[in-house]
Amino acid sequence: MEDVFSPDLPGIEKEIVSIRRHVHQYPELTYREESTSRYIAGKLKAIGIRPVTGVGGFGIVGIIGDEHAGPCIGLRADMDALPVEEMADVEFKSRNNGVMHACGHDTHVAMLLGAAMLLKKHEKELKGSVKLLFQPAEEDGGRGGALPMIEDGAMEKPHVDYVFGLHISADYPSGTFALRPGPAMAAPDGFRIRVLGKGGHGSQPQNTVDPVFVSAQIILALQGIRSRLIDPTEPFVLSVCSVNSGTKDNIIPDEAVILGTIRTFDKEVRRKAKKLTSDISRSVATAFGAKCEVNFTENAYPVTANDPDCTDKVKRILSGIKDTKTIDSELIMGGEDFSRFLEKAPGVFYFLGTMNKKKGCVYPNHSSKFRVDEDVLKYGALSLAKVAYSYANG
């Protein structure tokens, strides 16, 4: 399989990088990926692939091969950016203030389009078909973009038999593929705790119900879930990431809002953690005379679980790519919308390392200084093409 695509790879490497840089310069937030979607559709047409647009929002689907013959293999790339002001010193810096491709979704678009170029050149050799899934709204964390695409029929006509996704990662050295069988990424449940008190003058706290003080007690109490109420051998994270309240140094406000996230791999642990978060928050608030409202992200992503047999096969395929290394990945507490596709078809979500100290690619995903070693993008495109080709041809 290496020989099938390797001769074509040098001819498209510059195009892959060019696509990545264009998308990087014009990032768009979740549910607003209109121009990105339009750009992808144009690129697909140039390759000779008819794009089906407006799938689950700004999602796009394209087919390579005979959709009426053999298995159908899904390949997915997400396209949305993050609300981050870019601080990386690159010549193709984001032109949209306060928005940045800080997670690498620009590279995912470029690598999938690169894979599409490779597969299109060998379309007649395919015994099945390859369905390209360009997904919006991965960063939402709730309904996201995969679910709307699935509801719009993205995994049907033809039915997707296997599905694969690739994510760039600053946690692994450049050119390193990382994957694991079974649960790979956590289920992320965001929570919002609204503490309702009674405001007043900062000099007279006895006449108020201070929501800031109550929030502080809630935050401390929630840490007891991890340390005392959940089996310490279970992978579990509860983080409070935002506290908002008040307007002035001498005014006790009427309310405070706490935002945070729970990350789990086990359904029962997930259920228990959410219940404990709600019960503890309300109990602490009541103890100090306040009221409390607790809400969780609706339709939060499930656990991302790789099919074991598919993982073994993909691992063998990746191991055959020259100048790369394939390793077992660790459990990742981050969540991923690709989990929705894996609920509909067996497959694998794997990673490609981009950490390169010599090139300054040392900052983590979601950092304002996140940078990508563009030399690895060709490996990502090649890996997607090889996996799809192998599965489409049985």
Boundary-marking domain end, from 243, 262, 296: 296
* Mean pLDDT, the chain, integer: 97
How far is it, in rounded angstroms, from Cα 270 to Cα 277? 11
Q: Look up the domain containing 192 and give its range.
A: 187-296
Same domain, 219 and 241: yes
CA pair distance 323, 175, nearest whole angstrom? 7
Residues 70-98 have pLDDT tens digits of: 899 999 999 999 999 999 999 999 999 99
Same domain, 241 and 287: yes
End position of a domain, from candidates 235, 268, 296: 296
Of 287, 283, 282, 187, nearest to 238 by C-alpha is 187
Domain identity same for 35 and 154: yes
At residue 200, does pLDDT exceed 90? yes
312 and 287: one domain? Answer: no
- Domain count for the chain: 2
Residue 16 shares a structural domain with residue 128: yes
Name the pTM for this structure.
0.94
Q: Please state the φ and ψ torsions of residue 163, each to the nearest 5 degrees.
A: -135, 140
The reply to whether 102 and 114 lie within a common domain is: yes
Amino acid of residue 19: I
CATH code at position 378? 3.40.630.10
Please, how many CA atoms are within 13 Å of residue 122, restricted to the half-sphere of its CB?
Answer: 26
Q: How far apart are CA 314 and CA 322, in angstroms?
A: 15
- Residue that is last in its domain, among 296, 329, 350: 296
Helices (H) and strands (E) in the chain, counts: 10, 16
Strands 182-185 and 255-264: unpaired
pLDDT surpasses 90 at 394: no
Tell me what the mean pLDDT of segment 140-169 comes to. Answer: 97
pLDDT digits (tens, 9 = 90+) for 104-121: 999 999 999 999 999 999
Would you name the residues annotated as active-site residues?
A: 301, 374
Residues 201 and 215 in one domain: yes
Residues 164 and 174 occupy one common structural domain: yes
| pLDDT tens-digit series, residues 241-256 | 999 999 999 999 999 9
Q: Are 81 and 10 in contact (CB under 8 A)?
A: no
Same domain, 154 and 25: yes
